[in-house]
């Protein structure tokens, strides 16, 4: 597996071998949790300098915006400015916003741009379809990562689009491997990965809260209970990652005959502990596929965007909006750039 890639890449960088990441600029459309976590991770890993990072969002009230500013990232309210200042462009907005953003920045994409979508459920083909209206060969990739990138222990998978080349994949992999595990997968696995490692940290935080409650119930002070629970989980995960053994074998090794641990495991099994976790992965994956279905529709309901946000976007130079209703009775918003009034969206 490719978890070791991160260390190898660091060594290469230290030897002074020229990597394109030295002169590369990275942009984030969106300045929320995901952009913040990735920027924190990248800067902690030293893989790119903050002044080479730009992030944009029309909403400057997000708590993450001030965090990004403090790290020295260039912040702007103009998505088009981010595009012009970057080579690798992460789309770090919510899935239903993606079509909106693509319409806005489509005409500004150049040959050098590598578009990396981090949006759950948004397919490469849907992005390529939109961008093909502006460029003949847009380089698109899709990734699914998770918030522990912020402590450089993320889990990332990516899939490569039609016009992206092998080197683009390697570039993305180098970036993401600096903040955790990263591997390429077939695109149709990404929804399952979302259910497992995308949502996984939330399962862990919930478990840790409950384990600490158990410790407190049995007499431990809260801080110690949280600390011990997190440490136990971390240690076990690390053992598993560094071992060739099956998780069941490692579990067996901890269960001495008639001991405390096997008693505890029995109550877990009695309550269907394993089944709950399978259900969780499944539920997250299914919801991801639902979001994909919604995102595949080219129209977004006006109800999905705040009027104030829309106004801020429209204030940016070069952007106008037309409201259209098609024969199916669906109404929605479409953005097009004033330089290309001819490219009206088909219904």
The interface region with a second copy, picked from 21-29, 80-88, 142-150, 317-325 by CB under 8 A, is 142-150
Give start and end residues of each alpha helix (H) in the chain: 5-14, 33-45, 63-70, 79-84, 98-105, 124-131, 166-177, 190-193, 200-217, 222-241, 247-254, 260-270, 273-296, 307-315
Strands 319-325 and 331-337: antiparallel
Q: In the complex, what is the shortest distance from the CB of residue 12 to a second copy, in angstroms, rounded to a whole number?
A: 23
Q: Which residues pair with 180 in a beta bridge?
A: 154
166 touches a second copy (CB under 8 A): no
Among 10, 129, 287, 312, binds a second copy (CB under 8 A): 287
d(CA 173, CA 158): 8
Among 30, 154, 161, 332, binds a second copy (CB under 8 A): 154
218 touches a second copy (CB under 8 A): yes
Give, as ranges, the residues between 34 and 93 that touch a second copy (CB under 8 A): none
> Vertex 91, ends 154 and 73: CA angle to 5°?
75
Q: With contacts defined by CB under 8 A, how many residues of the chain interact with a second copy?
A: 107
d(CA 272, CA 204): 17
Residue 218: C-alpha distances to residues 213, 230, 260, 265, 345 (Å): 9, 17, 14, 17, 63
- The answer to whether 114 and 172 have CB atoms below 8 angstroms apart is yes
User: Which CB atom, from 146 or from 337, has the smaller least distance to a second copy?
Assistant: 146
Q: In the complex, what is the shortest distance from the CB of residue 222 to a second copy, in angstroms, rounded to a whole number?
A: 10
33 touches a second copy (CB under 8 A): yes
Q: Which residues pair with 53 in a beta bridge?
A: 26
Give, as ranges, the residues between 234 and 273 that touch a second copy (CB under 8 A): 234-242, 246-248, 250-251, 253-256, 259-261, 263-268, 271-273
132 touches a second copy (CB under 8 A): no
Among 25, 147, 174, 337, binds a second copy (CB under 8 A): 147
Q: In the complex, what is the shortest distance from the CB of residue 188 to a second copy, in angstroms, rounded to a whole number?
A: 7
18 touches a second copy (CB under 8 A): no
Among 201, 305, 312, 324, binds a second copy (CB under 8 A): 201
């Amino acid at each position: 597996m490719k978890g070791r890639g991160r260390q190898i890449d660091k060594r290469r960088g230290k030897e002074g071998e020229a990597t394109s990441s030295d002169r590369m600029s990275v942009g984030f459309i969106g300045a929320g949790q995901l952009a913040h976590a990735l920027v924190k991770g990248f800067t902690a890993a030293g893989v790119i300098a903050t002044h080479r990072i730009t992030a944009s969002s029309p909403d400057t009230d997000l708590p993450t915006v001030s965090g990004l500013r403090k790290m020295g990232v260039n912040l702007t309210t103009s998505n088009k400015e981010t595009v012009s200042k970057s080579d690798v462009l992460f789309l770090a907005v919510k899935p239903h916003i993606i079509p909106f953003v693509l319409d806005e920045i489509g005409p500004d994409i150049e040959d050098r741009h590598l578009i990396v979508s981090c949006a759950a459920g948004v397919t490469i083909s849907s992005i390529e379809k939109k961008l093909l209206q502006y460029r003949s060969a847009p380089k698109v990739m899709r990734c699914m990562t998770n918030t522990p990138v912020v402590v450089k222990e993320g889990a990332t998978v990516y899939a490569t689009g039609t016009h992206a080349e092998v080197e683009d994949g390697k570039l993305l992999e180098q970036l993401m491997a600096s903040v955790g595990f990263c591997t390429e997968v077939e695109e149709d696995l990404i929804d399952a990965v979302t259910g497992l490692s995308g949502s996984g940290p939330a399962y862990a935080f919930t478990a840790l809260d409950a384990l600490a409650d158990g410790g407190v119930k049995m007499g431990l002070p809260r801080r110690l209970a949280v600390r011990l629970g997190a440490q136990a989980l971390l240690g076990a995960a690390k053992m598993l990652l560094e071992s060739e053994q099956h998780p069941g074998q490692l579990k067996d090794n901890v269960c001495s005959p008639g001991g405390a641990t096997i008693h505890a495991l029995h109550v877990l099994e009695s309550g269907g502990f394993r089944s709950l976790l399978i259900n969780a992965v499944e539920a997250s994956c299914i919801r991801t596929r639902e979001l994909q279905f919604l995102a595949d529709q080219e129209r977004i309901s006006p109800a999905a965007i705040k009027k104030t946000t829309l106004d801020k976007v429209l204030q940016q130079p070069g952007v106008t909006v037309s409201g259209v209703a098609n024969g199916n009775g669906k109404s929605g918003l479409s953005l097009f750039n004033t330089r290309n009034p001819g490219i009206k969206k088909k219904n």
